[in-house]
Structure 1
Amino acid sequence: MKLGYIKAYVWLACVLVANVIVYTVVTLSRRPLSLQASGRAAFIGGHVRLWQPRDLRGLPLWELLMLSRDQLNKPMLQNTTAQLNLTLPGTCRESFHEASQSLADFSSYPGHLQAFVLSMHCRDYPLLVRPAEEEACPNGTQLLVAVKSQLANFDRRQAIRQTWGQTGQVGDVIVKTLFLLGRQDSGDGHPDLEALLELERQKNRDLLLWDFQDTFYNLSLKDILFLGWLRGHCPSAELIFLGDDDVFLRVDALVAYTGGLNAITRRGLFTGHVIRDAAPIHDCKHKYYIPKSFYQGTYPPYVGGGGILYSRDVATRLYEASCHLPLFPIDNIYLGICLRELGLVPQNHPGFWTFNMEAEGQEDLCAYKEFILVHHRTSQEIIRLWRSLHDPALAC
């Protein structure tokens, strides 16, 4: 009797396992294929069946690149993506022409977006201008402020140097400010500013300039080039602020905020104005235009433009994640994609005002005491705000 029961139980178990396998296969064949690895949940479009590779041809380019990457670790996908023929060029000298040929509407992309797609495989750009190590990161620097600027924005950089970007000690923290630049060639319609740039470099010694074309769609490239540089420099900097050259930053408030964080919170820190449930803008006249043929679906949570504060351990991990992810042409969203790859979520801070203040509050100087960062300020406004907020007669 006991042997008979055992055989019955074994038979029932085999039937159950077989049913589970059949159910799983059928379910996969009917569900949209999503990118689930490493915590991703970005829909990649279409009802894709693993044995119907032809269905993949309608997917946006960025998701196809992700699938091509994932096939290396998922043998089940190799037959599915083999027909895509999306092999990244081996060197920066080669253009990513296969991508342009796979995009039926590539010719309608704006010029700078076309240039981005053709070179999105390249991360190897040398530094053309850099300060000496002791000037880039004085001994004991704890907070590194990295400001993304463009070559022609001399007035913005100088306004920052004269005000909130002054290098030195703030409270009990040593702060250093650097400016991140790329090339703007005269052949592209930009004036020849080489002589002025050389004077600025000699006088201030706070510029990092890489040999890539500095356009809006290359800001994500600028971010990861800086993260790569940071890996081998400024080891004492525990915190990094990465921002634009049109923000007003209260460094004293930033230092006060970080001083109140415990050691656990400081590790894994990535904070600013968090934006959730955003989606690509498909209006070709919009600054943040992303064609449907390039990317569809929603964006992961990300920190809005203007400024981000993160810890050094996160900076290291972001760079490592970026080495395995295709570049995305909007910088803050790309960092959000890298965070998602790491299983991290950005933390919202109400003191970061990405979208400016209400109009009626902009003249209230005491209102600025409540903020860490306010975006969209001209050079003149930055200087005026700095002087007014440091006026001994100001009573709040």
Structure 2
Amino acid sequence: MVLLIIYVGVVVCMEMNSRGTPGGEYVTPGTIYFEASGYYRRKSLSSLPKTWWKLHTDGDPLWNRLQLPVDRYFSPILSPNNTKKGFKNDTFLESPLTQSFSDVVNSNGTSRNFTELPEQIKEFVRHMHRRDYRTVHQPSGVCGAGAQDQKENTLLLLAIKTTELNFKNRQAIRQAWGQVGWVAGQNSSGGYVRRVFLIGKEDPIELGVNISELLELENKHYGDILQWNFKDTFFNLTLKDVLFWSWFSRYCHRTQFVFKGDDDVFVNTANIVTYLQDQLKRPNARKTLKDFMVGDVIAAALPDRSIKSKYFIPESFYKGNYPAYAGGGGVVYSGLLAKRLHRMSKRVHLFPIDDVYVGMCMIRLNAYPIHHPAFLTFDFPGKEEEELCAYHKILLVHKRSPAQIVRLTADIKKTQAQCRDVPLRDGVKKGK
């Protein structure tokens, strides 16, 4: 009888605690969750959606079903031994991805639902387990094209996503903001910059011509092409991130920062160099830079359900908010973080939207991008662009044509003296 009374008391206390837990959420009747109190507030563990603890996944979208068993496998609470092993063994990291893909994709329910997916998603799913693509072209330098007489470690590697056909974009970048070697910043600061273009393959049959030889000649001349043998599509941009991180981890041991961006952005490289030198001077820089990523941060975004949008993600493929991510054409992160993202990517299934995928890897590292208003991924607001020193206040603006990129670089040089002491844009409109 005493034991029975104790048991009833424990059950009642647990029920009261579960209802009074800070940050708790209403659970729909019939849905079974297990939630570890305080898990989401521990800095040593990464933040994940509470559906991580859901016991039943029947009827969940494809990507969620694929990723859930992997997150559970590497849970420091559910499987602490697996977490420790995973940081030491690449093969051990990759095997849960392979197993969950095989289990989920080959199940009867998934096979039936697969036919209902849009064609571009079907194509992505057919190949989303593959990452073993052959390298077609490598840069001539160890870590991208750079100055032959470089005397210090590389401060910044410009890693630009482009396509075989976008030669004009690459050429404009080479002539303008993407020049390699020593780049002077403001206030006598500076650093060495290197460059690499990230490219997949065009289908010669669809294109009507094979331009492989032209790209080979281009790489021989400039030495800045990194190309893999996968089809260059919008949904395969995520592959460029994953394969680039792998290449970077192997060849760029002493590179301090990476700019990863599109080939239609204008970058004020001198401002970025100055900004990064300032980061290195901060207290405990080595410790903080392991998580360092800065850009135009988009928080709590929802998947685009418009079937006409190139960002369309159907409900049958993914459910939930997107994690915070830096998007819109350009982001800067530390070399230390690039290596950590490489290892974490082995624990996260590929996702069709590349910026979102980076956010998915970041949140599992318990790292969060920093928002900076000098990243204008949606262009200047209002008439701000018409100001004399507008382009001296920014780090990046999207979108610009090759001709505009070259012209803007020349304009900045002409107004350098007049705008020398202009601070970076802070996003706050000053009153008169």
Alignment TM class, shorter chain as reference: 0.7 to 0.9
SS at match of 1:181: strand
Q: Is residue 164 of structure 1 aligned with residue 171 of structure 2?
A: no
Q: Deviations over 1:217-267 (max 9, x none)?
A: 011111010001111112121111111100000110001111112124434
Q: Is residue 378 of structure 1 aligned with residue 401 of structure 2?
A: yes
* In 1, Cα distance between equivalents of 2:74 and 2:194: 41
Q: Deviations over 1:264-321 (max 9, x none)?
A: 4434211100011210011110121001100111111110121111111211111111
Aligned position for 2:429: none
Aligned position for 1:3: none
Q: Is residue 353 of structure 1 aligned with residue 376 of structure 2?
A: yes
Q: Deviations over 1:108-136 (max 9, x none)?
A: 54433221111111111121100234472
What is the 5 A alignment of 1:75-86? none
Q: Is residue 193 of structure 1 aligned with residue 216 of structure 2?
A: no
Aligned position for 1:120: 128
* In 2, Cα distance between equivalents of 1:393 and 1:141: 25
Task: Give the aligned CA root-mean-square deviation in angstroms.
Answer: 3.5
- Contact 1:388–1:394 (CA<8 Å) still a contact in 2? no
Task: Mark the runs of 5 or more structure 2 residues left unpaired by the alignment.
Answer: 20-26, 80-95, 185-189, 420-432
Q: Is residue 42 of structure 1 aligned with residue 43 of structure 2?
A: no
Aligned position for 1:57: 58
Q: Deviations over 1:355-375 (max 9, x none)?
A: 111363334442111100001
* In 1, Cα distance between equivalents of 2:305 and 2:350: 19
- Contact 1:100–1:106 (CA<8 Å) still a contact in 2? no
* In 2, Cα distance between equivalents of 1:144 and 1:134: 12
* In 2, Cα distance between equivalents of 1:305 and 1:313: 23
Aligned position for 2:228: 210
Q: Is residue 258 of structure 1 aligned with residue 271 of structure 2?
A: no
SS at match of 1:227: helix
Matched to 2:267, the amino acid is: L
Aligned position for 2:430: none
Indicate how the Cα distance of structure 1 residues 107 and 374 shifts in structure 2: closer, same or farther if over 3 A, else same: same
Indicate how the Cα distance of structure 1 residues 190 and 61 shifts in structure 2: closer, same or farther if over 3 A, else same: farther
- Contact 2:291–2:368 (CA<8 Å) still a contact in 1? no
Matched to 1:288, the amino acid is: Y
Could you tell me the TM-score, scaled by structure 2's length? 0.76
* In 1, Cα distance between equivalents of 2:353 and 2:328: 10
* In 2, Cα distance between equivalents of 1:115 and 1:135: 32
What is the 5 A alignment of 1:3-22? 15-19=8-12
Matched to 1:131, the amino acid is: P
Aligned position for 1:149: 162
What is the 5 A alignment of 1:87-102? 98=106, 102=110
Quote how far apart the aligned CAs of 1:88 are. 6.8
* In 1, Cα distance between equivalents of 2:159 and 2:7: 61
Q: Deviations over 1:195-227 (max 9, x none)?
A: 221221111010000111111001111101000
Quote how far apart the aligned CAs of 1:389 are. 1.1
* In 2, Cα distance between equivalents of 1:388 and 1:97: 54
SS at match of 1:197: helix
SS at match of 2:383: helix
* In 1, Cα distance between equivalents of 2:126 and 2:273: 41
Matched to 2:171, the amino acid is: Q
Match of 1:366 among 389, 396, 400: 389
Q: Deviations over 1:175-197 (max 9, x none)?
A: 00110001111123364212221
Matched to 1:159, the amino acid is: A
- Contact 2:136–2:229 (CA<8 Å) still a contact in 1? yes
Aligned position for 1:130: 138
Quote how far apart the aligned CAs of 1:339 are. 0.7
Q: Deviations over 1:126-181 (max 9, x none)?
A: 21100234472655322111001111100000000000000010123000011000
Task: Mark the runs of 5 or more structure 1 residues left unpaired by the alignment.
Answer: 1-6, 78-86
* In 1, Cα distance between equivalents of 2:228 and 2:109: 29
* In 1, Cα distance between equivalents of 2:34 and 2:325: 20
Match of 2:348 among 316, 325, 328: 325
Q: Matched residue pairs, number?
A: 371
Could you tell me the TM-score, scaled by structure 1's length? 0.83
SS at match of 2:192: strand
Aligned position for 2:310: 287
SS at match of 2:251: coil
* In 1, Cα distance between equivalents of 2:72 and 2:365: 19
Indicate how the Cα distance of structure 1 residues 41 and 361 shifts in structure 2: closer, same or farther if over 3 A, else same: same
